[in-house]
Amino acid sequence: MRAFVGQRSVRLAKGLSSPSLQHTSISPRCFRVPGPKLFHSSPVLCQVQPYLLADIGEGITECRIVQWFVKSGDRVSQFDPICEVQSDKASVEITSRYDGVITAIHHQVDEMAIVGKPLLDIDVEDETSPDIPPQGDTAQDTATTGGDAEPESTMVTSTIPEEPAVKLEPKHSGLAAPAVRRIMKEHDIDISKVAGTGKGGRVLKEDMLRHLSQQDSMSPAPVLNDTTANEAHETVRLSPTDSQMFKVMTRALSIPHFGYTHNVDLTSLTRFRRKINARAENLPGHDKTSMTRLSALPFILKALSQTFSKYPKLNAHLDPGSDGDAPQLTIKHSHDFGIAIDTPSGLLVPVVKGIQNHSIISLDAEIKRLSALAKEGKLAPSDMKGATFTVSNIGSIGGAAVSPVIVPPMVAILGVGKAESVPMFIDNEQGESQIARRERAVLSWSADHRVLDGASVARCAESLAKSLESIDELGLSLK
């Protein structure tokens, strides 16, 4: 691009390279010459700003790019969504802090972005009004200064650099659900070749599975020789969730675990839940299709909270100390329990806060809310922090006993096994033993043996069992 400008304008252009402006990047597109006019009286001075990934909380150092809402060349305003990132704990939507134009995007979908490093570059526009007279005033300026006359106009050649090409992802990959993106990565599928049946052509999980089945039916099974079979392997990068689990469990290896396992008779609790659920079904106008049934988990959390009022040391954080500092145990008065939830992206542990203030009904609603957000990948950072104790309900998948691993800085964890119907000996009213069908589950405890002795853990566990086996003694209020 060639632009013919006056003497005063040349001095302005030279001034832009002065030391006071050396740290400001000036975009060539800002100097426009509309028709015969040399410069706009209020030119737009553009400054390219790198947009840095901020710390989204909990000491996160890197995030995975889930999807971009913008591309190079798009104009954005403050608070416009730019992209969605996923840390090892939650997904967060990043919004713009500037008004301007996107000039470069530094990461593709599924790449890892480092906190404090640029996500993209934005051409930020600032309206300025330097004293730039029109061409007609140039001669008067020269006469006033008394300097030697210079040519009326000077040719300045400015080369506009081409913007680097940004490789864009397929059309619907950024909007795909986590399950769809996982299938894409596992099977190396180009999503643009999959016919989407969702809203606006969005590709659903069912579309991906149908596409895979069609590929399997069309492709003959390969014949592998022994060499090919032995060499077949795949190296995958740990997801953010798996990376966080790797770090936490590595730290957990330094904790001396004390294990305690016992059987709990849940027959009374099971009958009570069935009675409550049946009563809800028979309410006038009740929509059975949207019915939410009470599970055993809110009862276990509430009974555990009441038990911790007698054994508060299990609801605590341990600071082991460093550089000669003495270890400290901080007992938490608020019962904020993390609940392990299996999701498409891995195991997540959202936190139910203030359990001592909840009723069974409100606990059940909060558990269902957090579970739904976890499976959709929409948990906020605040939903994931502050746990004082962890409950892993492995029984929802299967299995009886489990050996749960303590997550520091907590000092204990409880694993709940699957409830099963078993024959048990019980005493009747006459004191005679008889066999009856009972509902039984195994509770598995792990405690930090540096601060909790075995006897204290055993007493706490048996106190919880007594509360669960006698529902009347729980003293729970249903709202």
Residue positions annotated with a catalytic role = 449, 453
The answer to whether 101 and 74 have CB atoms below 8 angstroms apart is: yes
- In 367-461, beta strands by DSSP E: 389-392, 412-416, 420-427, 433-448
Q: Both tokens of residue 73?
A: 């060349």
Q: How many residues does the chain have?
A: 479
Among 43, 38, 42, smallest CA distance to 3 is for 38
Q: Both tokens of residue 16?
A: 């832009």
Q: What is the Cα Rg of the chain in Å?
A: 33
Residue 12 β-bridge partners: none
The answer for residues whose C-beta is within 8 angstroms of residue 377's C-beta and 6 or more apart is: 86, 91, 178, 343, 344, 345
Distance CA 453, CA 460 (A): 11
Cβ neighbours around 236 below 10 Å, total: 8
Cβ neighbours around 366 below 10 Å, total: 20
Residue 162 phi, psi dihedral angles, 5° rounding: -75, 140
Q: How far is CA 127 from CA 33, 49, 99, in A?
A: 17, 16, 12
Distance CA 133, CA 131 (A): 6
Among 200, 290, 228, 238, smallest CA distance to 112 is for 238
Distance CA 379, CA 339 (A): 13
> What own/partner pairs with CB < 8 Å and gap ≥ 24 does 23-30 have?
27/103, 27/123, 28/1, 28/158, 28/159, 28/160, 28/161, 29/123, 29/160
Distance CA 89, CA 101 (A): 31
3-state secondary structure of 474: helix
